């Protein structure tokens, strides 16, 4: 079991409110991703749940039990740190065994559990090495191994992939998702990378300035962003946001249209523009267009498309996919 | 407040307070029970004593001379040791060794076996070249002491400058090379500015220690001939433990503290800045 | 990246490097050589460099004539004693400053540093009088106290810079893994801090071993460590160069070896972390 509930949680650092007031329910077995720009309070929120920071107000409960004042160790959670935080003086075996040793398990059980975990994570051959002798990806797996042997109520991940190179990041992303499928344990995952959020999460919590902007499944956030912030944050390339006269025509202060929802035509359309740069990725082409009276727009076309710098082009937004926002930035 | 802080505070304030108090007393250990308040008499006496002027000059010459040799030589040695050559690590050990020699040993070895006017090695070298051997400690006492002390501090400067040198980003050097800077331009525009900070630290720290040079003087010249090699520290020592003039020595001690503080302020600022980085 | 250097250039540097290195090392080398000579050969002119009758008698003489071993023990007891006590006092302080710093931590550190700048001669008189009246003159315990106090700032500083380098993530990980404070200290913190503590110990033993202001002023015969004992050779009747050399060689050899091992730490310790 591992449901987590935050009520009226506040956090201040020397008078400055990092998290003014926050409520959140996380269901058992859910994979929840906290995403937001740096400084939005997502890591602080995770550390509050872990117990590494004390809340300034409100309550945190796990499985209905209030753990607000409990020490981190008593909360039954595991954490994977951005730096991996492996114990440099212990072997891989020692690292993975450490939480079990702390829990006072007998040697036989520890040995069996460590070896099981190593098996799952492909670390069997490295058990007697020191962390410094391992590659980044292997260290990451040791950190995960150390987290899973405890069989925690929930896993907490603090930007665990940000120190890995791009290719390895994709691999580890898949491995963590697979782990979640196998274990079905609650996972809370902090990242600033919205691609990670979109690909891994059951539910995404978008944070900004210590407040929750929106909570929902990746597709909900993609289809119905609650406000301008979420609209601009989720999706890659970013949603085009247009204000002024063209927005007025659609009865909104700002309209947003994702690059993939713009139809391009060489002879007619709602907006007229000039092709700047076209990025050919093979499967897709991203086209950066200077639109008259609007500014810079990004459009996405399937496959290879024969556009080049300086071509005139007409753009038409897909009417059903147009997002309209009020003066205050809320979705209409 | 941890015990460490309290202990240090007591250690510092109690004796310093006592020194300050004694400095205003007529107080000689040979005349117990005669203590009386004399105001600034001790300070006036100490500051107008011709020996004080001499000692102050000697202190400044000693500090300045040793700094010149150790920083200049240290810079040369650091640049040399930064080059790859055969047996580099052994030479490095040879160069740092003098720092670990206790002051009394180095003073005696230099005094007897190297600088002795009859049997010393320098005398033999001089005679080999047909020169009149010099009685170093008698005819140039302060200079001799400067050499002895500088020999001990040269490794310190070398070691710190070498450490700083090795932290210089190789790419920066290569970029300068790509930009057409030759060996000397690189030294002047890249290396020396990079070392500026380390050089400052060396100067300040050495100054703190050099203001208190004592054992080398005691063992070699005992401050003589006359006061020719007496520095402030040694002068106060003779005042206190040879003439038993507690009041006068205390006034001298306070003056020494003030002198050291002038240097210390700069040093502390420098290290404090580093603490924030 | 080390670049390819022409062999010729490398040879030139080798010659310069070794010449300079041997010149600087020469006084030590000369002392060691002289310690194996007879007194006659020691003052002979022209001096003999290697071709003399090597003898060990000076080393035996030093002990017989002056109870050398007693002074060695004094040096060991005083330098290790003051270092251990210093560590005992400094570890909690440095720990607290590194892991739960307050607004005043920096000020306290700077203040500790400033005490190191106090010239010893400024407190010579009161310390001498206190020691005289307290029966601490010429005692091991008296010197241990002085050396502990004068090296305490360096010990605190060095430990602080080492402790600060231990990533707090790792301590947090231990907490998440269910370690109590006691177990966190035993299983994680101490093993990670030991290299730093060892370096601090090493440097401070060296500094205490070579300290020559207080040891000269506060000891006479009984508690005199090697610094003070060697100084007694400065009197004219002590002009036995071979024996002086033997005594000196024994006094500097152990610390020279320790010093060679601690070069890096020395830079860090003596510059208070300003140069690493």
B117 with B226: CB under 8 angstroms?
no
Give yes or no for C266 touching B (CB within 8 A): yes
Min distance A72 CA to chain C CA atoms (Å): 5
CA distance B170 to B87: 23
Min distance C99 CA to chain A CA atoms (Å): 14
- Please tell me the predicted confidence (pLDDT) of residue C1: 40
Please tell me which of the candidates C43, C239, C275 has its beta carbon nearest to residue B201: C275
The length of chain C, given as a count of residues? 276
Cβ-based neighbours of A220, under 8 Å, separated by 6 or more: none
Residue of chain B with shortest Cα separation from C260: B93
Architecture in CATH for domain A237-325: Beta Barrel (2.40)
B111 with B219: CB under 8 angstroms?
yes
Rg of chain B over Cα atoms, rounded to whole angstroms, equals: 23
CATH code of residue B122: 1.10.3720.10
User: What number of other Cβ atoms are within 10 A of residue C71's Cβ?
Assistant: 25
Q: Best-predicted range by mean pLDDT among A111-115, B170-174, C152-156?
A: A111-115
Helix (H, G, I), strand (E, B) or coil at A186: strand
| Residue bearing the bigger pLDDT, A262 or C118 | A262
Mutation target to probe the C interface, by most C beta carbons within 10 A, among B16, B100, B202, B240 is: B100
User: Does C3 score more than 60 pLDDT?
Assistant: no
Question: If you count residue pairs, one on B and one on C, with CB atoms under 8 Å apart, how many are there?
Answer: 293
Question: If you count residue pairs, one on A and one on C, with CB atoms under 8 Å apart, how many are there?
Answer: 65
> Could you tell me the sign of the dihedral formed by the alpha carbons of A146, A150, A151, A154, in that order?
negative
Mean pLDDT of A262-269: 86
Residue B7 lies in a domain: no
At A30, the pLDDT band (50, 70, 90 cuts) reads very high
Q: Residue A78 pairs with which residues in a beta bridge?
A: A155
Phi/psi region, residue C165 (left: phi>0; alpha: psi -120 to 50; beta: rest), is: alpha
- Please tell me the predicted confidence (pLDDT) of residue B206: 87
Provide, rounded to the nearest whole percent, the portion of chain A with pLDDT above 70: 99
Q: How many domains does chain B have?
A: 1
CB contact under 8 A, C170 and A103: no
Give yes or no for C38 touching B (CB within 8 A): no
CB contact under 8 A, C167 and A103: no
Counting CB pairs under 8 A, whether chains B and C reach 3 or more, is yes
Q: What does DSSP say about strands A4-13 and A57-62: parallel, antiparallel, or unpaired?
A: antiparallel
Q: Residues of B with CB below 8 A from C109's CB?
A: 275
- The pLDDT tens digits for A315-329 are 888 888 889 998 888
The length of chain B, given as a count of residues? 277
User: Does A301 score more than 60 pLDDT?
Assistant: yes
Q: Residues of A with CB below 8 A from C192's CB?
A: 87-89
- Please tell me the predicted confidence (pLDDT) of residue B275: 58
- Please tell me the predicted confidence (pLDDT) of residue B274: 62
CA distance C213 to C39: 30
Q: What angle do CA C107, C110, C115 make, to 5 degrees?
A: 125
Residue of chain A with shortest Cα separation from C168: A85
Residue of chain A with shortest Cα separation from C174: A99
Mutation target to probe the C interface, by most C beta carbons within 10 A, among A14, A46, A54, A81 is: A81
- Please tell me the predicted confidence (pLDDT) of residue B277: 47
CB contact under 8 A, C259 and B97: yes
Q: Report in angstroms the alpha-carbon separations of C57 from C49, C53, C64, C73.
A: 18, 11, 10, 21
Which of the four CATH numbers 2.60.120.10, 3.20.20.80, 3.40.50.300, 3.90.1560.10 does domain A4-231 have? Answer: 3.40.50.300
- Please tell me the predicted confidence (pLDDT) of residue C250: 87
DSSP assignments along A61-98, one per residue: EETTEE-TTS-GGGGTEEEE-TT----TTS-HHHHHHH
Among the ranges given (A113-117, A264-268, A300-304, C134-138), the one the predictor scored with the smallest mean pLDDT: A300-304
- Please tell me the predicted confidence (pLDDT) of residue C276: 63
- The pLDDT tens digits for A176-233 are 999 999 889 999 999 998 889 999 999 999 999 889 999 999 999 999 999 999 998 9
The tokens describing B24, both together, are 């205003």
CB contact under 8 A, C213 and B215: yes
A22 with A9: CB under 8 angstroms?
yes
- Please tell me the predicted confidence (pLDDT) of residue B1: 54
- Please tell me the predicted confidence (pLDDT) of residue C5: 63
Please tell me which of the candidates A51, A81, A102 has its beta carbon nearest to residue C169: A81
CA distance C134 to C137: 8
Rg of chain C over Cα atoms, rounded to whole angstroms, equals: 23
Min distance B180 CA to chain C CA atoms (Å): 17
Which residues of chain B fall short of a pLDDT of 50?
277
- The pLDDT tens digits for A31-72 are 999 999 888 889 999 999 998 888 999 999 999 899 998 888
Helix (H, G, I), strand (E, B) or coil at A5: strand
CB contact under 8 A, A52 and C172: yes
CA distance B78 to C41: 37
CB contact under 8 A, B124 and C45: yes
DSSP assignments along C66-82, one per residue: H-HHHHHHHHHHHHHHH
CA distance B151 to C15: 21
Residue B61 lies in domain: 50-276
CB contact under 8 A, C22 and B88: no
Residue A174 DSSP class: H
User: What number of other Cβ atoms are within 10 A of residue A91's Cβ?
Assistant: 17
Helix (H, G, I), strand (E, B) or coil at A125: helix
| Residue bearing the bigger pLDDT, A24 or B26 | A24
Mean pLDDT of C126-134: 86
Residue B106: name the closest of C233, A200, C76, C190 by CA: C233
- The pLDDT tens digits for C212-251 are 888 888 888 788 888 888 888 776 645 688 888 888 898 8
CA distance C244 to B106: 11
CB contact under 8 A, C191 and A50: no
Residue of chain A with shortest Cα separation from C194: A89
Give yes or no for C248 touching B (CB within 8 A): yes
Please tell me which of the candidates B81, B106, B253 has its beta carbon nearest to residue C122: B253
User: Does A298 score more than 70 pLDDT?
Assistant: yes
DSSP assignments along C247-266, one per residue: HHHHHHHHHHHHHHHTHHHH
CA distance B161 to C248: 29
CA B254 centroid distance within chain: 19
CB contact under 8 A, C178 and A86: no
Min distance B139 CA to chain C CA atoms (Å): 18
**Which residue's structure tokens are 């000692």?**
B55
Complex prediction ipTM: 0.84
Which other chains touch chain A, taking contact as 3+ CB pairs less than 8 Å apart? C
- Please tell me the predicted confidence (pLDDT) of residue C238: 53
Helices B246-276 and B3-22 meet at what angle, rounded to 10?
Answer: 140
Which other chains touch chain B, taking contact as 3+ CB pairs less than 8 Å apart? C
Helix (H, G, I), strand (E, B) or coil at A299: strand
CA distance C159 to C96: 11
- Please tell me the predicted confidence (pLDDT) of residue B276: 55
What distance, in Å, lies between the first and last C-alpha atoms of chain A?
39
B241 with C217: CB under 8 angstroms?
yes
The tokens describing B38, both together, are 């004399």
Q: What angle do CA A164, A169, A170 make, to 5 degrees?
A: 165
CA distance A161 to A54: 26
Helix (H, G, I), strand (E, B) or coil at A188: strand
What is the CATH superfamily name and number for domain C60-270? MetI-like (1.10.3720.10)
Phi/psi region, residue A24 (left: phi>0; alpha: psi -120 to 50; beta: rest), is: beta
Q: Residues of C with CB below 8 A from B12's CB?
A: 115, 118
Please tell me which of the candidates A73, A88, A89 has its beta carbon nearest to residue C178: A73
The H-or-E segment that residue A317 falls in is strand A312-317
- Please tell me the predicted confidence (pLDDT) of residue C124: 82
Min distance C109 CA to chain A CA atoms (Å): 23
Q: Where are the domains of chain C?
A: 7-59, 60-270
Residue A157: name the closest of A47, A11, A55, A38 by CA: A47
CA distance A85 to C223: 49
Q: Residues of C with CB below 8 A from A89's CB?
A: 191-192
CA distance B191 to A9: 53
CA distance A144 to A79: 8
> Could you tell me the sign of the dihedral formed by the alpha carbons of C135, C138, C140, C141, in that order?
positive
């Amino acid at each position: 079991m591992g449901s987590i509930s935050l009520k009226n949680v506040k956090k201040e650092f020397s008078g400055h409110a990092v998290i003014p007031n926050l409520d959140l329910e996380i269901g058992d077995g859910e994979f929840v991703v906290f995403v937001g720009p740096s400084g939005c309070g997502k890591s602080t929120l995770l550390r509050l749940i872990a117990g590494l920071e004390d809340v300034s107000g409100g309550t945190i409960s796990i499985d209905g039990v209030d753990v607000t004042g409990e020490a981190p160790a008593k909360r039954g959670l595991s954490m994977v740190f951005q730096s991996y935080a492996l114990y440099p003086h212990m072997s891989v075996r020692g690292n993975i065994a450490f939480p079990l040793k702390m829990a006072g398990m007998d040697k036989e059980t520890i040995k069996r559990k460590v070896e099981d975990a190593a098996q799952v994570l492909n670390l069997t051959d490295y058990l007697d090495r020191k962390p410094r002798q391992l590659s980044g990806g292997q260290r990451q797996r040791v950190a995960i191994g150390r987290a899973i042997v405890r069989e925690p109520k929930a896993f907490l991940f603090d930007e665990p992939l940000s120190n890995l190179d791009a290719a390895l990041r994709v691999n580890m992303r898949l491995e963590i998702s697979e782990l979640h499928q196998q274990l079905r344990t609650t996972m809370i995952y902090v990242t600033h990378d919205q691609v990670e959020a979109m690909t891994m999460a059951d539910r995404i919590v978008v944070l900004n300035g210590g407040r929750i902007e929106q909570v929902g499944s990746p597709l909900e956030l993609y289809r119905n962003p609650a406000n301008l912030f979420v609209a601009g944050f989720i999706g890659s390339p970013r949603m085009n946001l247009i204000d002024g006269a063209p927005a007025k025509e659609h009865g909104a202060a700002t309209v947003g249209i994702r690059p993939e929802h713009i139809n391009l035509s060489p002879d007619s359309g709602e907006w007229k523009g000039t092709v700047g740069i076209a990025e050919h990725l093979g499967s897709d082409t991203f086209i950066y267009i200077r639109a008259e009276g609007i500014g810079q727009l990004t459009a996405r076309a399937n496959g290879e498309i024969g556009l080049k710098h300086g071509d005139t082009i007409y753009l038409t937004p897909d009417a059903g996919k147009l997002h309209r926002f009020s003066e205050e930035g809320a979705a209409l | 407040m941890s015990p460490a802080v309290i202990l240090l505070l007591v250690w510092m304030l109690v004796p310093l307070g006592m020194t300050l108090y004694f400095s205003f007393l007529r107080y000689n250990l040979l005349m117990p029970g005669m203590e009386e308040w004399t105001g600034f008499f001790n300070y006036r006496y100490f500051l107008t004593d011709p020996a004080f002027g001499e000692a102050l000059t000697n202190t400044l010459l000693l500090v300045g001379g040793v700094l010149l040799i150790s920083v200049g030589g240290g810079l040369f040695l650091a640049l040399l040791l930064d080059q790859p050559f055969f047996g580099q690590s052994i030479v490095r050990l040879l160069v740092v060794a003098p720092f670990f020699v206790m002051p009394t040993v180095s003073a005696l070895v230099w005094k007897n076996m190297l600088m002795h006017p009859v049997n010393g090695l320098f005398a033999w070298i001089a005679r080999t070249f047909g020169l009149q051997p010099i009685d170093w400690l008698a005819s140039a006492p302060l200079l001799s002491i400067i050499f002895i002390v500088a020999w001990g501090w040269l490794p310190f400067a070398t070691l710190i400058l070498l450490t700083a040198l090795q932290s210089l980003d190789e790419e920066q050097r290569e970029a300068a090379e790509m930009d057409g800077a030759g060996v000397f331009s690189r030294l002047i525009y890249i290396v020396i500015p990079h070392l500026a900070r380390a050089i400052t630290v060396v100067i300040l720290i050495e100054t703190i220690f050099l203001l208190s040079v004592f054992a080398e003087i005691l063992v070699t010249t005992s401050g003589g001939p006359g006061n020719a090699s007496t520095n402030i520290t040694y002068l106060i020592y003779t005042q206190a433990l040879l003439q038993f003039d507690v009041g006068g020595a205390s006034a001298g001690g306070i003056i020494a503290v003030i002198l050291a503080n002038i240097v210390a302020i700069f040093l502390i600022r420098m290290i404090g800045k580093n603490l924030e980085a | 990246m080390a670049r390819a250097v022409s062999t010729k250039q490398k040879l030139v540097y080798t010659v310069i490097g070794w010449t300079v290195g041997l010149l600087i090392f020469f006084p030590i080398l000369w002392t060691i050589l002289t310690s194996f000579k007879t007194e006659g050969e020691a003052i002979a002119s022209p001096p003999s460099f290697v071709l003399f009758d090597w003898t060990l008698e000076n080393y035996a003489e030093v002990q017989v004539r002056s109870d050398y071993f007693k002074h060695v023990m004094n040096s060991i007891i005083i330098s290790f004693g003051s270092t251990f006590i210093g560590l005992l006092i400094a570890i909690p302080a440095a720990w607290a400053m590194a892991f739960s710093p307050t607004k005043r931590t920096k000020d306290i550190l700077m203040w500790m540093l400033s005490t190191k700048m106090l010239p010893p001669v400024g407190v010579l008189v009161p310390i001498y009088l206190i020691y005289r009246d307290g029966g601490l003159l010429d005692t091991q315990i008296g010197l241990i106290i002085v050396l502990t106090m004068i090296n305490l700032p360096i010990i605190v500083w060095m430990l602080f810079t080492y402790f600060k380098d231990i990533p707090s993530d790792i301590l947090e990980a231990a907490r998440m893994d269910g370690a109590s404070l006691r177990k966190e200290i035993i299983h994680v913190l101490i093993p990670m801090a030991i290299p730093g503590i060892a370096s601090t110990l090493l440097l401070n033993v060296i500094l205490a071993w070579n300290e020559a202001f207080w040891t000269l002023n506060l000891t006479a015969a009984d508690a005199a460590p090697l610094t003070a004992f060697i100084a007694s050779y400065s009197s004219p009747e002590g002009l036995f160069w071979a024996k002086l050399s033997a005594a000196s060689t024994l006094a500097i050899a152990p610390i020279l070896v320790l010093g060679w091992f601690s070069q890096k730490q020395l830079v860090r310790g003596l510059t208070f972390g300003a140069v690493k």
